[in-house]
Structure 1
């Protein structure tokens, strides 16, 4: 069999399986020590995010207004690299750009393989009029994104990326340059308790003239509550670097995906005069269980995931959403307090035995949030990078 390097599109069900199984060859190769920090992706979810038909049929709603090609690199009959290249039309209309994106990148430590993959991807983008490419995004900034460049000594939290240290050098050898860094911050329970005790009275005093209500998610109204959260998410992130709003069908799809994973005590809303003005969503670090499931939730993995979540010791505060006018109010601290310790007859998340919270991710350009987290005494534990390249 020829050792010639070949890059070609994914066209068959077998190709799709080989595309998805490549990470096992990189992080858990037979005869080699498995990377203890790597958590296999949920294969069914990844298939949808790649634009392939999912378990429920049809494509992921992200692709209602996006295009994608998935590429395999092969040598000697073995898959040695993979890449997805995308055009997000929502982004390009919003920013008046001709920007392509890449994601789902995995590769052996070989610059030639990486170069061949990105040359094929760049050709596809140029044919469609794109003038630059950005990534990794899987498939956008609203999902997993960024290349890990610092923090290889610890496992990633749920829905955060992970990759070998050599990936940065591979991308940079192809001419990619830093566009923006994303940070993950960590806070243990003792620090959080001290922070709330110090600042909560001042925040509540400043808001005492308003009809402020802090409440947990109502599980009986799950669909409505998640829709409210996602609306706050879109409104609060408008104007943030690179942000594109979730489209209605996409938001509904995400709400359905989160139904089994969300614990109501970990979703807190703030309302003023009956109107939602902010929310906090934290997810348990399901990676602590997913590392043992080998990428498969069905038929028994989902049972293990749900039955084992009381043993999870960390949570990820994914998004602290505040609409304009309240983003510097300090309300985020009040939401954290209610989530962790409860109140108003509601059980707090502290009873789940969570030992630490990760706040991720936070944009390098988000000086306000970064300053708040720094003053709070949190520390950066991981750094992820978004790269750009002109075509």
Structure 2
């Protein structure tokens, strides 16, 4: 049968938005590893009011086969990316499809032609919708459920995307380690020495002052990650929106600031794995029964994800990264309920991040790939 690709106005048309959000629920109905996002969160992401769209132009398509929606894609012109990197790369994201090469071809053809019409010469992804959110196509570890804010897809995606001429541009790694691991003595010594030598202290975050704490994280964030591959500066509005979303799942003891002479220099964020709760809400709706899973969330969560850690440039080489790892781990260990820690994602060639994790005994157990193709 012929594949029909329909351009849809997800940000402004309620019916189109519903189809775009509902499609994965149909595709993954029998997949025990897929974790649905709450539909109320998807509705916020696909609202024209979301601050991401203040600095990006996007287009959406849905593929239809035999009268049924069987795939979707979003094409992205990220103005912050283009200004910061000074190149002509467009992005794609929120891609889902059945195991059908024609569906893949039709969706990528429509989105790549649109990006080309915007004056771009490369297509890169997946990003949902940028490196500041879910990123990468899962190419290793498809047999397990993903943790909080990490994407999932079937293994057949890789072959179809490569068949369209896309190739790897970068791999993102996820590390796993048992929460009760013994921190190597060399790391604890480095942390202790750095603390005493440089008047370094640390403190946990305060939910009572969340807005002010988020402002502090925002100040550190754009400074700390500026030189990383694929970095895209976040606007204050975008960062604050994300911070407010994270507040509901945040544990004060698992988000720490490091301070040098009383000045905030770096932070680390670990979050309870709320995906273990979301997995128990297969329809993505809080009502009528999903709300009770959320209320009893602590009962289901046995894992933690370290989602980010960064230090301002002027405070590099003081051992702050080691201190943050060490102190955060101590706090995670104090909870008997947390058995597993995932640290993700880490650029495959970021040796400053990979080496300490390997030294701790962490194992890279999932790989998320960023693909690229010349237009």
Alignment correspondent of 2:226: 238
Alignment correspondent of 1:40: 36
Residue 312, structure 1, aligned to residue 301, structure 2: yes
Distance 1:104 1:70 in 2: 9
SS in structure 2 at match of 1:194: coil
Alignment correspondent of 2:137: 147
Count of residues in Structure 1 that have an aligned counterpart in Structure 2? 371
Query: Cα RMSD (Å) of the superposition?
Result: 1.8
Alignment correspondent of 1:22: 23
Unaligned residue ranges in structure 1 (runs of 5+): 29-33, 343-347
Unaligned residue ranges in structure 2 (runs of 5+): none
| Residue pair 1:184, 1:380 contacting (<8 A) in 2 also | yes
Distance 2:225 2:134 in 1: 16
Give the stretch that moved more between structures: 222-231 or 281-290: 222-231
Describe the superposition over 1:36-70 as per-residue Cα deviations: whole angstroms up to 9, x where unpaired. 21101222222333xx32xxxx5210110101111
| Residue pair 1:62, 1:250 contacting (<8 A) in 2 also | yes
| Residue pair 1:241, 1:365 contacting (<8 A) in 2 also | no
Give the 3 Å change call, closer, same or farther, for CA 256–302 of structure 1 in structure 2.
farther
Distance 2:289 2:317 in 1: 45
SS in structure 2 at match of 1:162: coil
Alignment correspondent of 1:189: 179
CA positional deviation for 1:73 = 0.5
Distance 1:103 1:312 in 2: 28
Alignment correspondent of 1:31: none
Describe the superposition over 1:212-271 as per-residue Cα deviations: whole angstroms up to 9, x where unpaired. 211111222111112212321211111100101111111121122122111111101110
Give the stretch that moved more between structures: 141-150 or 37-46: 37-46
Distance 2:289 2:205 in 1: 28
Structure 2 counterparts to residues 267-306 of structure 1, below 5 A: 267-294=255-282, 295-297=284-286, 301-302=290-291, 304-306=293-295
Pick aligned residue for 1:217 from 185, 198, 205: 205
Residue 341, structure 1, aligned to residue 337, structure 2: no
SS in structure 2 at match of 1:215: strand
Residue 99, structure 1, aligned to residue 89, structure 2: yes
SS in structure 2 at match of 1:180: strand
Describe the superposition over 1:63-103 as per-residue Cα deviations: whole angstroms up to 9, x where unpaired. 10101111011011101111000100000011111211000
Describe the superposition over 1:324-364 as per-residue Cα deviations: whole angstroms up to 9, x where unpaired. 2544444334323433434xxxxx66225211110000001
Give the 3 Å change call, closer, same or farther, for CA 38–327 of structure 1 in structure 2.
farther
Residue 133, structure 1, aligned to residue 117, structure 2: no
| Residue pair 1:279, 1:321 contacting (<8 A) in 2 also | yes
Structure 2 counterparts to residues 55-204 of structure 1, below 5 A: 58-191=48-181, 193-195=182-184, 197-204=185-192
Alignment correspondent of 2:366: 382
Scaled by the length of structure 2, the TM-score of the pair is 0.93
CA positional deviation for 1:317 = 0.3
| Residue pair 2:125, 2:135 contacting (<8 A) in 1 also | yes
| Residue pair 2:194, 2:200 contacting (<8 A) in 1 also | no
Give the 3 Å change call, closer, same or farther, for CA 99–202 of structure 1 in structure 2.
closer
